[in-house]
Amino acid sequence: MSKLFQQIIRFSIVGFICTVIDFALLYILKEFLDINVYLSTAIAFTVSVIVNYILSVLFVFDVDKSKNQSKGFILFVVFSVIGLILTEGIMHVGTQWLEFNYLIIKIFATLMVMVFNFVTRKLFLEKN
C-alpha cells in the first residue's frame, strides 16, 4: 500500500474515533445537560480536536518527534478553529434556516470539515 493510502486509512480510523467522541459528547451535553446546541457543539468539537491531535501525531502523520511540537500544535489548533467556525456555520444554516435535525446537519458538517482537516494537517503538520 502506498504511504498516502495508509495515512488516509489511519486518518479515517482516528477521525471515526474522534467523530464518535464528538457526537456522543454533543448528544450528552444537549440532551442530558440541556446546554445550548452551539455551546455543546463547540465543547464537543474542542474535546475531539485534542484527542485527534494526540492520535494524529502518534499514528497518522510523520511528525518529527525530536522537535518542539508547540508550532505543530498551534497550527493544528488554528486549523481546528477554522474547522469549528465552518462546523458552527453549517450547524446554524442547517438548523435555523433549513430546520433540519441538528444530528443530521452534524453529519454533513463532519464530512466537509474532515476533508479540510486532512489536507491542512498533511500540509502543515507532517515533516517534509
Kindly report, residue by residue over 29-86, the tens digit of the pLDDT.
999 999 999 899 889 988 998 899 899 989 998 877 667 677 778 888 899 889 889 9
Q: What is the mean pLDDT of residues 5-28?
A: 93
pLDDT of residue 110: 85
pLDDT digits (tens, 9 = 90+) for 93-123: 999 999 999 889 989 998 898 889 889 888 8
128 band by pLDDT with thresholds 50, 70 and 90: low
Written in H, E and C, the secondary structure of the chain is: CCHHHHHHHHHHHHHHHHHHHHHHHHHHHHHHCCCCHHHHHHHHHHHHHHHHHHHHHHHHCCCCCCCCCHHHHHHHHHHHHHHHHHHHHHHHHHHHHCCCCHHHHHHHHHHHHHHHHHHHHHHHCCCC
The whole-angstrom separation of Cα 84 and Cα 49 is: 10
Calculate mean pLDDT across residues 9-32: 94
Q: What was the pLDDT predicted at 21?
A: 96
Q: Which three cell numbers stand for residue 65?
A: 518527534
Q: Which residue has the higher pLDDT, 64 or 28?
A: 28
Cα–Cα dist 9/22, whole Å: 19
**What is the distance, to the nearest Å, from the Cα of residue 53 to the centroid of all Cα atoms in its chain?**
9
* pLDDT number for residue 46: 87
